[in-house]
């Protein structure tokens, strides 16, 4: 048995950031991770062939590059090997009619592409980009602050002081709007609306779901204004750097060490018991980076002592599932819409707002979508170091999918467990990509397919293949993430805290929950 100031359950990037900050504040920290690999959904491996490095989940590291944690510890992270690959051509969409639209960090390039669709849309884009610095100040302050009365009051006061009542109400309306509502107010062209709306699907927001507009807005404006960054060599560059910080500050990281129970005495978390039987004591904090559903009756065998909290954890809503298809390629896809698409980090394949809405509803109903939304990542277009010279990797995220299959919207695949269905469904995905990039299959050197079930096997936090660890709909966001009265990473048990994507400020690589909790516990 060992004693630490803080013990972490799981080695995701939020836990690592939290542990690094606390260790540098003099805390004795230990992280116990069930897997042999740290990083949670942010990791990179040779899933197909030797020399081809694929990001398991997260690929875009822009949130981490712009995070408060990175601003504070940029030098330390760099000394431990953190390296970014900047992206100029950020994201695009290709369409069945042979057209495409994409956002680059060169305003004139993007505006010129817009003007080819609509002069009014090009003008609207310039107006939004011009207003973005003022709007971003308030949105990023909200997303980067704790969900406390004091922080919210400060954000609200600053918003009212700088924008006035009407401007503050406009910002509030943006936060409440659906993607479709915001896009139809600002753009007249379906191609433009669809390209931007695809970002909502990354965070469980189909076009007509309230609260989803802010994500397409922020992603498109930020990419236009700042570009995007990937990790040089893979997204795990941030994991290796964070782990280096933890260890250099005296922290301990143990892999292959599954936590079976968080021990509690007198209403206070006292440590952990591992599946091996080992016990470890935490004098100040136990911090769990887990999906909420594993707390009552599992990590907390007797519950938390608060029936309402336990019920909220058990009924925490997860987003629909995803599938990941990793391809080792002889060359990048030959996009019919234009060779310029080969330069983009992401190419979305989603024909329309209505098609996205239909796909979402099919997945929610337990049906295999006939036309899933595809996020085709081309990281080697930006970072050739991820593959042997002249070769490429393709990162294909398939959204949205049911965790349990009740039927097939196309009527071609018999219902069954994902282990029996995933290969057939992957062929549907490749057929869709081939319709936009003929000849793709002839370029495939190796493939690896992760169904929703496979994703959860690899990382239990990805419940049902939910890669964002919980829906971000308004009823489960802001003051309600993961539950009312528990949005400050607290629980009913003293010294037991939560971190990770299931907590405020939600999914993404920004390490916001880990760093804000660390500051709350150990000071700035």
Phi then psi for residue 498, to 5 deg, are: -115, 155
Q: Are residues 114 and 156 in the same domain?
A: yes
pLDDT digits (tens, 9 = 90+) for 168-181: 999 999 999 999 99
Q: Are residues 23 and 70 in the same domain?
A: yes
Q: Are residues 26 and 123 in the same domain?
A: no
Phi then psi for residue 487, to 5 deg, are: -90, 0
Q: Are residues 186 and 116 in the same domain?
A: yes
Q: Are residues 77 and 125 in the same domain?
A: no
Residue 107, SS3 per DSSP: helix
Domain assignment present for 495: yes
Per-residue pLDDT of the chain (524 residues; tens, 9 = 90+): 799 999 999 999 999 999 999 999 999 999 999 999 999 999 999 999 999 999 999 999 999 999 999 999 999 999 999 999 999 999 999 999 999 999 999 999 999 999 999 999 999 999 999 999 999 999 999 999 999 988 899 999 999 999 999 999 999 999 999 999 999 999 999 999 999 999 999 999 999 999 999 999 999 999 999 999 999 999 999 999 999 999 999 999 999 999 999 999 999 999 999 999 999 999 999 999 999 999 999 999 999 999 999 999 999 999 999 999 999 999 999 999 999 999 999 999 999 999 999 999 999 999 999 999 999 999 999 999 999 999 999 999 999 999 999 999 999 999 999 999 999 999 999 999 999 999 999 999 999 999 999 999 999 999 999 999 999 999 999 999 999 999 999 999 999 999 999 999 999 999 999 999 999 999 99
Q: Are residues 172 and 130 in the same domain?
A: yes
Q: Are residues 12 and 75 in the same domain?
A: yes
Q: Are residues 141 and 241 in the same domain?
A: no
Q: Are residues 181 and 246 in the same domain?
A: no
Domain assignment present for 227: no
Across the strands, what pairs with 401?
321
So what's the pLDDT on residue 38? Answer: 98
- Residue found under tokens 């699907």: 201
So what's the pLDDT on residue 45? Answer: 98
So what's the pLDDT on residue 500? Answer: 98
Contact (Cβ atoms closer than 8 angstroms) between residue 27 and residue 303: no
Domain assignment present for 17: yes
Q: Tell me the pTM.
A: 0.97
Q: Are residues 124 and 69 in the same domain?
A: no
So what's the pLDDT on residue 1? Answer: 78
Across the strands, what pairs with 449?
325
Contact (Cβ atoms closer than 8 angstroms) between residue 401 and residue 369: yes
So what's the pLDDT on residue 10? Answer: 98
Domain assignment present for 390: no
pLDDT digits (tens, 9 = 90+) for 126-160: 999 999 999 999 999 999 999 998 889 999 999 99
- Residue found under tokens 């040779």: 46
SS (H, E, C) 67-81: CHHHHHHHHHHHHCC
Torsion sign over Cα 58, 59, 62, 67: positive
So what's the pLDDT on residue 149? Answer: 87
Contact (Cβ atoms closer than 8 angstroms) between residue 293 and residue 358: no
Number of independent structural domains in the chain = 2
Domain assignment present for 73: yes
Here the CATH number for the domain that contains residue 276 is 3.50.50.60
Residue count of the chain, please give it: 524
Q: Are residues 142 and 243 in the same domain?
A: no
Domain assignment present for 45: no
So what's the pLDDT on residue 245? Answer: 98
Domain assignment present for 365: no
Domain assignment present for 152: yes
Q: Are residues 178 and 257 in the same domain?
A: no
**HSE-CB of 409 using CA atoms within 13 angstroms:** 20
Residues spanned by the domain of 478: 2-40+59-84+234-316+470-522
- CB-CB neighbours of 489 under 10 Å: 26
Contact (Cβ atoms closer than 8 angstroms) between residue 510 and residue 67: yes
pLDDT digits (tens, 9 = 90+) for 247-303: 999 999 999 999 999 999 999 999 999 999 999 999 999 999 999 999 999 999 999
Question: For residue 476, which of 496, 510, 501, 511 has the smallest C-alpha distance?
Answer: 501
């Amino acid at each position: 048995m060992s004693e630490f100031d803080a013990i972490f359950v799981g080695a995701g990037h939020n836990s690592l950031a939290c542990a690094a900050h606390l260790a540098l504040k003099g805390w004795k920290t230990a992280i116990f991770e069930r897997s042999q690999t740290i990083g949670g959904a942010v990791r990179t491996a040779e899933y197909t062939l030797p020399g081809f490095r694929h990001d398991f989940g997260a690929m875009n590291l822009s949130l981490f590059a712009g995070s408060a944690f990175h601003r504070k510890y940029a030098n330390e992270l760099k000394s431990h090997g953190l390296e970014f690959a900047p992206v100029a051509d950020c994201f695009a969409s290709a369409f069945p009619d042979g057209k495409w639209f994409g956002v680059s960090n060169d305003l004139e390039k993007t505006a010129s592409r817009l003007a080819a669709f609509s002069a009014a849309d090009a003008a609207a884009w310039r107006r939004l980009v011009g207003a973005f610095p003022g709007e971003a100040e308030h949105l990023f302050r909200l997303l980067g602050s704790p969900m406390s009365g004091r922080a919210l009051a400060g954000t609200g006061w600053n918003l009212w002081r700088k924008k006035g009542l009407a401007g503050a109400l406009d910002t509030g309306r943006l936060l409440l709007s659906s993607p479709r509502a915001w896009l139809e107010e600002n753009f007249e062209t379906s191609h433009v609306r669809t390209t931007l709306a695809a970002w909502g699907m990354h965070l469980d927001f189909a076009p007509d779901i309230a609260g989803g507009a802010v994500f397409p807005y922020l992603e498109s404006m930020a990419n236009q204004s700042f570009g995007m960054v990937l990790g040089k060599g893979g997204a795990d560059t941030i994991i290796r750097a964070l782990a280096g910080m933890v260890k250099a500050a005296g922290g301990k990281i143990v892999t292959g060490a599954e936590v079976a129970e968080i021990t509690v005495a007198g209403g206070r978390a006292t440590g952990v018991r591992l599946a091996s039987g080992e016990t470890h004591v935490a004098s100040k904090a136990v911090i769990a980076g887990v999906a909420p559903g594993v707390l009552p009756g599992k990590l907390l065998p007797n519950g938390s002592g608060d029936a309402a909290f336990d019920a909220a954890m058990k009924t925490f809503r997860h987003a629909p599932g995803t599938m990941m298809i990793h391809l080792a390629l002889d060359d990048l896809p030959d996009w019919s819409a234009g060779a310029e698409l080969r330069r983009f980090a992401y190419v979305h394949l989603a024909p329309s707002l209505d098609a996205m809405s239909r796909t979402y509803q099919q997945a929610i109903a337990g049906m295999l979508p006939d036309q899933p939304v595809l996020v085709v990542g081309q990281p080697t277009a930006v970072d050739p170091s991820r593959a042997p010279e002249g070769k490429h990797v393709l990162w294909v995220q398939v959204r949205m999918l049911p965790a349990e299959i009740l039927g097939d919207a196309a009527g071609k695949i018999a219902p069954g467990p994902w282990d029996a269905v995933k290969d057939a469904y992957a062929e549907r995905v490749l057929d869709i990509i081939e319709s936009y990039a003929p000849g793709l299959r002839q370029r495939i050197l190796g493939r690896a397919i992760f169904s929703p079930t496979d994703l959860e096997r690899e990382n239990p936090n990805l419940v049902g293949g939910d890669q964002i660890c919980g829906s971000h709909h308004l009823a489960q966001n802001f003051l309600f993430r993961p539950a009312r009265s528990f949005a400050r990473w607290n629980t009913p048990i003293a010294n037991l805290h939560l971190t990770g994507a299931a907590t405020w400020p939600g999914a993404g690589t920004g390490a916001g929950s880990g760093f804000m909790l660390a500051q709350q516990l150990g000071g700035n």
